[in-house]
Amino acid sequence: MNGAQSLIRTLVDAGVEVCFSNPGTSEMHFVAALDDVTEMRGVLGLFEGVVTGAADGYARIAGKPAATLLHLGPGLGNGMANLHNARRARTPIVNVVGDHATYHKKYDAPLESDIDALVSPLRGWVRRSESTADVGADAAAAVAAAQDAPGRIATLILPADVSWGEGGEACAPIPPRLAQSATRADVERVADVLRSGDSVALLIGGGACRETGLRAAARLAKATGAKVFAETFPSRIERGAGLPNIERLGYLAEHVEYQLQGVEHVVLAGTRAPVSFFAYPGKASDLVPEGATVHTLADVDGDAAGALTDVAELVAVGIDPVLAEPSRPALPSGPLTPQNWADVIGALLPDRAIIADEANTSGLMLPAATAGAPRHDVLTLTGGAIGYGPPVATGAAIAAPDRPVINLQSDGSALYTISALWTQAREDLKVTTVLLNNSAYAILRMELQRVGAQTDGKKANELLDLSRPDMDFAKIAEGMGVPASRATTAEELAEQFERALAEPGPHLIDAIVPPLL
């Protein structure tokens, strides 16, 4: 084998079966090796932010890593925003970055860059393969490192000559480090807090946002009166009829302060103590109520769902959780609004759907509209770097081809990674994009007010406006091979959404919705 062949064989043997790629010259032997190791599926993205976002979406649903293939430092740089989101989601990704041949680096060729420095903000595992004989072992270590609880980005830097050199050897999989169980002392300490009669908020995240953790948290709430909240942006949260309807912490600091008002104890299970998304003049950054005590039941790398279950067996014996009853909003009528479009989705959401949610300000009513819909998963914008929705939906659809994937997408954010539509068309993926088109960066209009800046300046408002010219997203989608339509009323959105769900392949609906602000 050459180095590239040993790399791909090792990845496949460790369960990494998909590589999202935007390769260049330094990665050509990896590309060629895909025909030698046929179990690896190669998926082309036209921009590296699509590649990295798709790997994130795939792993969130599949529960195991995909690989990326990026071209040198500039390719890594182009993919960094969605790698940042993946880091915040604690997503396992094997991030393969090609580099110049070892003997060529000294010449400082035009694409030469410091890849090790560029990857450092991801705070993950990094290794540079120094010889062809090492590639297989390095790849096995990367897969294990990516899957170390709770999940992280493992970057393997692959020089071109190490890739094309002969003498590669595949390596057997290495077991990852599993999530640690909570200690008995921590379980009993939190049980005592919950029994104390004080006001307690239980904040859950990570794996606790799946059914086992949700049910255990809801049992504790029913038994003790504790308030339960999911973290603001969970990587994946299960929702719908038959599951507890757990409210998420708000995005706005004022909302979180209201939710936690009067709380004396904050118990953390799989998440960190809440902080404000940004700093604001005269407002707190730390959102734990003054005087409240913080207790960590399970850190982000612990078994939060298991820890909650252990506490429930002490505090909530024989208590069943309150579950959401099946319910749907009535189909609305009339022109689309920031409120009624969400009712259309809630009324028609199919069973087992996966929602990639980047609706931003247009999506404030979505949780209430879908609480009683058939069971579904919601993937959220964990790191705040926009342009995550179309790529994450793409990866999720590859991970779960038997499930409908729905990308609820704001217009400004979509433009960062709109080329993901081309990949959806090429791979014939079951993704329905509902693009909320308000011709504005509406969330920035809100932030302009909240930071206390002047809001009536013509130049300032020009930077937040997406009109002149208005963009025709239906034509953009059709140009990338995705059937598209345009909706201005609730009736049109309902008809087009139902039709898109009934037909194979991807679709886009350009939903004209006025801005909330």
User: pTM of the predicted model, to two decimals?
Assistant: 0.96
Cα 402 to chain centroid, rounded? 20
pLDDT of residue 454: 62
First to last CA, the chain: 59
Q: Which amino acid would we find at residue 16?
A: V
Cα 314 to chain centroid, rounded? 34
Q: Which residues of the chain have a pLDDT value below 70? A: 442, 445-446, 448-449, 452, 454-456, 517
Distance, CA of 301 to CA of 282 (rounded, Å):
34
pLDDT of residue 262: 97
Cα-flanking dihedrals φ and ψ of residue 89, to 5°? -80, -5
Q: Which two tokens stand for residue 113?
A: 């860059």
- Give the three-state DSSP class for 152: coil
Q: Within a 10 A sphere around the Cβ of 46, how many other Cβ atoms?
A: 17
Q: Of 319, 361, 320, whose CA–CA distance to 341 is shortest?
A: 361
Q: Is 384 exposed, middle or buried (0-12, 13-18, 19+ CB in 10 A)?
A: middle
Alpha-carbon distances of 9 from 2, 94, 137, 157, 282, rounded to whole Å: 11, 14, 11, 17, 56
Distance, CA of 85 to CA of 54 (rounded, Å):
11
Cα 143 to chain centroid, rounded? 20
Q: What is the dihedral of CA 388, 393, 398, 403, to 10 degrees?
A: 160
pLDDT of residue 462: 80
Distance, CA of 206 to CA of 179 (rounded, Å):
11
pLDDT of residue 452: 67
pLDDT of residue 453: 73
Cα-flanking dihedrals φ and ψ of residue 392, to 5°? -65, -40
pLDDT of residue 461: 75
Cα 509 to chain centroid, rounded? 22
